[in-house]
Amino acid sequence: MTIGFALAGGEGRIGRRATYLVRSIQQFHPDAPILVTIPTSESPPTSLTEQDIKIARKPFPDPNYPISIKIESLRQAERQLETDWVCLLDTDTILVEPFTAHKKTTAQLRVKPVDMATQFWGQADVDEWKPLYDRYDIETPSYRVKSTVDNQEIWPYWNAGVVLVQAGDLGNRWRDLTLDLRSKKLEASHHADQVALAVLSGDYDVEPLTERYNCPVHLRMWTCPPKSVLHYHNENWLLCSSKYDQIYNKIGIDTEFPHSRSESTMIKLAARSVRNEIKCRLGLWSWGGAW
């Protein structure tokens, strides 16, 4: 089963992060096609455009919702890459080992539940979810999942940082539903991409991903099982551990680190990551606070 990768690029930090991600994919999947979708209004760095990748220049589907360009990247990849699977990755992720989640599965879609039940729509109940499924004529799911850090039972609500799908029309459907949620100004328009993905997953055979393929570094750098994809949010969180220094160096991400990467800095950040996880498990996490 062949796999291709998709992500969004852009200018400034987004462009640099996209470059790191592309390089990390190429470390472990040198023959896999990679498609990067860049907004027509932005000028990406040459470090990105000079990579051996496909580039799609497209406008934001919703200029007031910049994350919509990520969904457009999946849409373009499903059209252009000619692979069995497409893996859409957030720009603030990197691979640290081969990505194998598409192997030995019969599912159509693989995504990880959100980190915490307190994240956005994680606490929504049947009175909030069912009208959305009914609105789009999608069968309400009978199963539930567990948030991966605080281990709470929730509706199928996914972290969209890693979306692995058998190539088809998810990108089209995801874009259209997200834009509809946004245009109708429904309550679900906040984080509409994740709400839309949750609703659409009702039409797919889903096998949840583990944190191995979408590890929230700010919460689980030390306690996460073996990792394939680090979802780091902020480069400083990668300072928690020196385990992947060789990879950081190869992809150039080490240039983001403070010049004085002292042992005390690493210990403080590692302790903070563990503290964050404990707070989540105890229900004390204040979402929206600084990472």
Extract the tokens encoding 263. Answer: 């042992």
3 has which bridge partners? 85
Report the alpha-carbon angle 262-264-267, nearest 5: 115
What span, in angstroms and rounded, lies between the C-alpha atoms of 193 and 271?
A: 32
The confidence score (pLDDT) of residue 287 equals 47
Q: Which CATH number fits domain 3-213: 3.10.20.30, 3.90.550.10, 3.30.1700.10, 3.40.50.720?
A: 3.90.550.10
Mean pLDDT, the chain, whole residue set? 87
pLDDT tens-digit profile of 177-204? 999 999 886 665 568 999 999 999 999 9
> What is residue 141's DSSP assignment?
P
Extract the tokens encoding 139. Answer: 């069968």
pLDDT tens-digit profile of 40-64? 999 999 999 899 999 999 999 999 9
Cβ pair 133, 139 in contact under 8 A? yes
Banded model confidence at residue 289, pLDDT cuts 50, 70, 90: very low
Residue with tokens 């995801």: 174
Nearest to 163 by CA among 4, 2, 1, 29: 4
Residue with tokens 């996209």: 18
What span, in angstroms and rounded, lies between the C-alpha atoms of 12 and 41?
A: 13
Domains of the chain, by residue range, sit at 3-213, 216-281
C-beta neighbour count of 271 within 10 angstroms: 12
Task: Read off the pTM.
Answer: 0.89
Cβ pair 32, 89 in contact under 8 A? no
Extract the tokens encoding 152. Answer: 């709470």
What span, in angstroms and rounded, lies between the C-alpha atoms of 283 and 287?
A: 10
The confidence score (pLDDT) of residue 257 equals 63
147 has which bridge partners? none
For the chain, the residue count is 291
What span, in angstroms and rounded, lies between the C-alpha atoms of 106 and 103?
A: 9
Extract the tokens encoding 87. Answer: 């893996």
Extract the tokens encoding 187. Answer: 């309550």
